[in-house]
Structure 1
Amino acid sequence: MMRQYELVERVRRYNPNADEDLLNRAYVFAMKAHGTQKRASGDPYFSHPLEVAAILTDLKLDDATIVAAMLHDTIEDTETSREDIDKAFGEEIGGLVDGLTKLGKLDFVTKHAQQAENFRKLLLAIADDARVLMVKLADRLHNMRTLQYMPEAKRARIAQDTLDIYAPLAGRMGMQSMRTELEDLSFRCLMPEAYKLIVTRLEALKGKNGALIARIAAELTDQFVRRGIKVEVKGRQKAPYSIWKKMERRSIAFEQLSDIYGFRILVDTVADCYAAVGVAHTTWPAVPGRFKDYVSTPKQNDYRSIHTTVIGPGSQRVELQIRTHEMHQIAEYGIAAHAIYKDGRPDTPGVSESRAYRGLRQTIEALASDDSEKFLEHTKLELFHDQVFCFTPKGRLIALPRGATAIDFAYAVHTDIGNSAVGCKINGRIAPLISILQNGDEVQISRSDRATPPAAWDSVVLTGRARAAIRRATREAAKQQFGGLGRQIIERAFERAGKKFSESKLKAALPRLARASVDDVLVGVGRGEIYSSDVVRAVHPDFKDERKAGPAVPQNETGWFELPKAANLVFRVPGKSAPGDAPSPLRGLDPDTAVRFSPKGGAVPGERIIGIRGPEGITVYPIHSPALADFNDEPDRWLDVRWDLEAADKAVYSTQIVITMLNEPGALGVIATTVGEYGANIDQIASAPSGPDFRDLRIDLQVRDIQHLNAILAELKGKSVVHKVERLSG
């Protein structure tokens, strides 16, 4: 544990005029107040506030802040009162310790009125004096450094709060060095295997490229010095958590990252910054789109620097950050580098406050008139511009990147919740799952045990966790779908061959099928990649498939053959007429105009339609028809056409569907019976082979409307002889 004189000496190194008596009194006061209290590690409790004070001496903060750090737990954890602090050290330090006490009691996860009021008081205290925030960040940093002594059940919660709340808050205040350490400590706790993997990769990369990095640094220095620019070149390695975030955000591998190493060019003046850019761009080719000027336009947290990337020595991409020494201090320590917090009070005449702190203070003051609940909802979340914070109905806080959807939220709560999500309520109102979430939203996910995530979600979600889970779930769903179908086909094939299907025998035959597992064989058969006869032959090499191909049937040039018209299977709906006998079901067309429907797929009442004018009349297409793309450059031919549902109700309408069915006896009968039971007409059937186990049917189907069609398609999909069914679009 640091001794009294050692702490005073640390402060005197950067502040020779430090109030030594004040520091000594605070040391003794805090040590007596905490007495025999112990930390989870077994160390005296007083060692913790002392280490927090030591962290702040590294930031070279003023005496009052160092004293507040030593006293920050006295009101909360000892018999000491605010009045005792005021009497011993004055109201300034008493106010700082009081603000820290409220922060210590704050539960960031709940939204109850009492906690909201605590949060309101805390942020108003920060708005009055940002040193409250700096002490609390140092307090959290030391707690994270000693997290291994906490009970295992608490570690993940503390690390997650740190990652969600404190690290972004440090970043908002420009304290990048502290933010980086908080993030990496949290990352190591929450994902130890990923952390270890990235650190190992970084060490290997450093050993491999160490000489090259030194050569690049030396050549950079030489080029700048030759041009008369005094520089200090420092190598920079990306932090493990920053690497992980980029890999997750972009769904890329470690080897695909191009900016793990970079260089900081530190110069004396702003003019030297731009001169250094000129040297870099005239010496080496610049990478287009990689130039950013945060000197002329600083970030909200006061960050100033020029970023550029060049193809440098050895044809390597080299990322450069060019800044003055003063800019570098602010980039590393943020508002803690500001003169206000080193040798003056925030209200010292003639000393301006930092831009980052001013923005935070103005935001808080603008919302200070709100009631506590609204203040919590609006103010807390204004602190983090790159994130949104949402809540579960039970009050659990979920942090997501800005632009995340309710699907991302569901997967952030739990993978099983994401996989089974079918809908959501946002702030009590039903909303689509693809809704983009806003700060403070309360999200309730509706679930179904039968649900599986659609593959299309992969292009909607923002987080890597959701994207990876969706891909796993869709692969597993496809495996189950095709695997079940493949098993059904194989079992029937073995039955036809007079053999008994056995997984153990199939496993022994896997090398003959060039598959690694029985599941792979089942999926391959279900997908049509492996013939069932080949599987039987692999298990029983003497097997001969005696099925006959049947009489030859005339095929057209597409490979389909059509049943003769006399053989058509037609089921007429009683009381319904053919389309040609009905009155015109369309609005927006001249009654004398010749009208026909899309030759492929047709059009049915209830779906949006478009009319295309042609030399022989109007052709009506569904709005989703890909054929409409042929007319994109001819807007004059487009007509707004609508269904007259009353007239349309008197007829049936043609559309085309394609069914992939098992090549089994009776399969066609099942399909025809299903269509008939739903009161639809089969007008024409064409067939094409799809391997020995499957057959494709193209059916001209007559239905009443889009609901009628969808009901038939849904019923067909549920039949065991149907592998796939879809409507043709054309």
Structure 2
Amino acid sequence: MVQVRAEHPTNRDGSVNLDAWITRIEARVPLPTPALLRDACVWAEELEQAAIAAEHIWAEGTSSYRTGLEMAEILADLKLDQESLVAAVIYRAVREGKTTLAAVEKRLGSAVAMLVDGVQRMAAISVSQNPAKATMFNPQSQVETLRKMLVTMIDDVRVALIKLAERTCAIRAVKDAPDPKRYRVAREVFDVYAPLAHRLGIGHIKWELEDLSFRYLEPIQYKQIAKLLDERRLDRQVYIEDVMAQLRSELVDAGIHADITGRAKHIYSIWRKMQRKGIEFSQVYDVRAVRILVPQVRDCYTALGIVHSLWRHIPNEFDDYIANPKENGYRSLHTAVIGPEGKVLEVQIRTQAMHEEAELGVCAHWRYKGTDVSASSTAYEDKIAWLRQVLEWHEEMGDIGGLADQLRVDFEPDRIYLFTPDGHVLDVPKGATPLDFAYRVHTEIGHSCRGAKVNGRIVPLNYVLQTGEQVEIITGKHSSPSRDWLNSNLGYVNTSRARAKIQHWFKLQAREQNVQAGKLMLERELTRLALNGADYAQLIDRLGIRSQEDLFAAVGSGDMRLAHVVNVAQQLVEPDRHTEQQLELIPRRPSKTGRRSDVYIQGVGNLLTQLAGCCQPVPGDPIIGYITLGRGVTVHRADCATAMQLQDRDSDRLIEVNWGGKPVQTYPVEIYIRAYDRAGLLRDVSQLLANEKINVLEVSTRTSRDDNCASMLLTIEIPTLNLLGRLLGRIGQLPNIIEARRNRQENRA
């Protein structure tokens, strides 16, 4: 059954009467500053008029201004706060390019801009962005992946609710659209957003989305059921009114003050029950239904006893969702009885609080807990954690032609979700690179990969991908994998799937090629890390390999990791360094961790710490340290008034501190870089070191006039040899770099 909605109040000229509209909104939800909502409405209308004047009409052809008002009304019914309503009003203008997020932040505030941005990120989700190119992807797995992606993109409960309101308006608006568009919107709403409304427990939005989607996805079945309902509507209404009068009289005699209403059965739920149970329309018991709302839980069971005393209940048609709530928190008593005239009647019994929660779902919790969204509000963080728990998608709406199996999925926070150029979604582990993505699409695409674009911009193959990005793989006709891809220090592949595919490819190559390639890779890496004094006889003995040739073949085919061989070589060449690492000698930059605060003091050793009593920082707060006289370091919150005064008065005694225990032990290592000189060379190297959080102890650089080559010698702090190898690999990928290697003291340039 489709929701009937009131039109916007209008002036004589047909324009929206904003004063009357805001008054209508205030009757549903309190507005601290109605002027802000009015300003957003006026601005949205101005933007639309300007777009019309410039002939910049959105492809959907609907009014973004009136759609924003409609979205705000839906959210007002859900009792959302003023910021959400303002974001809803202006959202479509931002989506259609009539204004920018920066402009929204400047005029309506950062909180509103953040909500609009969140809804925009969710707008990237579409079940069938390009169905013509779906041959490589399973449609069912796409629906599942899209839902997982949806969950990862929700950072604020209000974002999900604004998106639901927007999709509700979208499916209402396609009534007169061409059939392909109606089908596409309905498919998306049915597969993604109706289940979301269900998991949030927002009953009336879920029912409307289901019924409208069903109308466009299965028009024949929809019309048949609607016709059957229409034919019996008047008779059913008279029957329900008689039942309600009888129930009301009995409940008053029992001392129970109840609200009794006739409940309309939704068309999609009727069809679903007919399909699930294999029954005819006449056998659907809850076409005639009443709902009883009572004050207390005990009144629910008293009312149930009265219903069962009046009419004989049907076996196996009683459900106690109060004692055993549904997954989405729904609570109610459901029973079916043989009512007057021998007709089947369904009765639902619940308290007013249960009814509000059934209709509003997560919004009811929002309303009860308040709307404080300040950064320090633990209540707000609890709401977000609760939302993520709700959205785990374990069980959905029953067996809807196999849809339930698709909906039983787990939220995996260690995965990211990416778009292909055709709009399909693939999930990969966090930390994945374009090469990992290429092998996730297809093995041959991975083998022939020669480059990648992310959101239309060319990126390195070791670029770390983020959720929501669109990845396009550039391939070559006769390309093949590079052995550098297997070098973990270079960061080209981070998934076991991609690594296994590459290793398998090299195993199929001739042994002679693997031997030559492995020898080149190993010698190059040992030279770069200044370990070329390693004795190969000792190395193969330590690794348990029969011959030097077998070692090169294993490295060349990927059977043995280059990093493992290098670590063993270091133990042979630098036994003293290895022993130091095993014994964990005192690092160059020791620190003392405060017993109470667990604070690490950057660059200072043997100092105690204590938490300031004025601001009482807790782990996670931005903090700063102040060196006291005789009491070590006092740790303040960065925004503490006392700390700000100290910054003005004694800034030289303020130091950088961080939450966390003692840092990893590091060792000084000298590296040598040779490159063709250019502007910004030293800046690029320094930026790379900063990004890797590498501390630099000493730098010297000079440029030869003869060949215009720059020689750089840096002393840095490194915790492990693996990190050094990765760092040298990253430096080697910078423009103009000729070589980057470790510099032993006896080889000082």
Larger radius of gyration: 1
TM range (shorter): 0.3 to 0.5
Query: What TM-score does the superposition give when structure 1 sets the normalisation length?
Result: 0.47
